[in-house]
Structure 1
């Protein structure tokens, strides 16, 4: 009788151990197939069957890393042990209680289930409520994207001054500046200083009409640009911020076909100009 009692006790302990490993079985999903699917997904009672009733706040990146084919060890490494009395070895499903913080405050509580195939590889995953899975799609906005976008650089202010109003005929030096031309440049300097917080650069481009040779027109346009630069520098614009170029007759604004020279010169007046571009914060 004593031997029989010992045998009975061992058998009872073994059965109890199996129950601990496999869990109560009252919430096991129905019809779990060899490939890890269930004909009916059943979630356990979070209040009655969970050993960790308070659940956890999972790492979202770990949750996003969960994928079909993972072993129990891999799933355990990402999510921790299951929160219900299902055991770790033989059960074909693991259940969790997860909490997620809402953007506007408060907490959402969800249940999460992994179902394993016959080789104990996780294959299908389920949420209760089903919409809880949307939290995985709501990736946090990277810090770089949360920062305000850098404002695009402001377009340069462009001022065009007619060369005929700046210089005497065929002139290009400071001595050739007309009184009206000096007034225009003084007004330009005052406008720049009052309306531009910091001048990053000033680009001055001289242009001529098509009368005369290319070489002459290139030299004349550059000489006039240099004169305007010298005037602006004398008025207080930093010399290192000023760039000059001469484009001669290469960028006309108008095309003229008059045969009389005087009429042709008048028609070509818009092509004889100095363009000033101011780069900086306004």
Structure 2
């Protein structure tokens, strides 16, 4: 049910009279905002809250109330926080009293505070709260900025294919892929398509052992990486996300003695003959 309050006749007459008053344009010092302290409260008398003509007070615009300061005319005060809520007149009295309601932030709960503006020589001179704790409702709320989620660098999936299982010894072309190598590539394609919704980048690096010249091994390693790329593309992997390179013999993972018989040396160096893949995707 909505309750309508009517201003008493004398107050209504004062309101009409006040509407014709002009502002003096007095400077408002925003530093001197509403305050209250126990030492001040002892010498300040507040009217009984039940005697207010505006029963229950009003939900004040906190931003407007923060603008109240010393040196303001009554017109300027009225423009910000309206007429006083007690029947104390508008012109002669040197004190205006209010009942302001503030939300506590707990559902519909609110508190009611008594507020007083004291005038001297026609302008506001001091502002008081009956309960000094009410001044806290004017403090700007500090909202802790939401911290952005930490950026976690994507970790690529690393896949290693043995070159000896893919290709015939010392070979690199599609026709040189062994049956076991074809099965490896088929399984790789199935894994990529089932695991990733979207492939962002695939890096393929070919490697050789140290047998042969450095230039020959560089060419062989790159050729094997390119062949793996072509096989993946033929199986439906987007060629545009694939990059290839050859490292030749420069990144061995196994070290072998030079005086080993050749067959034993070839076997010992087998881990170095490989194709490494790094996969990034969603």
Do both proteins adopt the same fold according to a TM-score greater than 0.5, normalized to the shorter chain? yes
Within 5 Å, give how 1:1-282 maps onto structure 2.
38=37, 39-41=39-41, 45-49=48-52, 51=54, 53-59=56-62, 62=63, 66=66, 72=72, 76=77, 80-81=81-82, 83-85=84-86, 91=94, 95=98, 97-100=100-103, 102=105, 105-111=107-113, 113=115, 128=131, 130=133, 133=136, 136=139, 138-139=141-142, 145=146, 155-254=155-254, 256-261=255-260, 262=262, 263-281=264-282
| TM-aligned CA deviation for residue 232 of structure 1 | 0.5
Q: Is the 8 A contact 2:58 2:101 kept in 1?
A: yes
Label 1:161 to 1:68 Cα distance change in 2 as closer, same or farther (>3 A): farther
- Matched position secondary structure for 1:204: strand
Q: Render the CA deviation track for 1:42-86: whole Å, top value 9, x for unaligned.
A: 665443246474311535xx27x948976547x959953475447
Q: Report the Cα distance in structure 1 between the residues aligned to 2:224 and 2:78, rounded to whole angstroms.
A: 76
Q: Render the CA deviation track for 1:219-260: whole Å, top value 9, x for unaligned.
A: 322221111010001111122222222233444434x25123
Q: Where in structure 1 are there 5+ consecutive unaligned residues? A: 1-16, 22-35
How large is the Cα RMSD of the aligned pairs? 4.5
**TM-score (norm: length of structure 1):** 0.62
- Matched position secondary structure for 1:133: helix
Q: Hey, what does 2:32 align to over in structure 1? A: none
Q: Report the Cα distance in structure 2 between the residues aligned to 1:89 and 1:215, rounded to whole angstroms.
A: 104
Q: Report the Cα distance in structure 2 between the residues aligned to 1:190 and 1:126, rounded to whole angstroms.
A: 74
Q: Report the Cα distance in structure 1 between the residues aligned to 2:125 and 2:170, rounded to whole angstroms.
A: 88
Point out the structure with the larger helix share.
Answer: 1
Q: Is the 8 A contact 1:58 1:98 kept in 2?
A: no
Label 1:117 to 1:57 Cα distance change in 2 as closer, same or farther (>3 A): closer
- Matched position secondary structure for 2:58: coil
Label 1:141 to 1:77 Cα distance change in 2 as closer, same or farther (>3 A): farther
For these two proteins, the number of residue pairs brought into alignment is: 240
Q: Report the Cα distance in structure 1 between the residues aligned to 2:133 and 2:53, rounded to whole angstroms.
A: 20
- Matched position secondary structure for 1:244: strand
Q: Where in structure 2 are there 5+ consecutive unaligned residues? A: 1-13, 19-34
Q: Report the Cα distance in structure 2 between the residues aligned to 1:122 and 1:183, rounded to whole angstroms.
A: 91
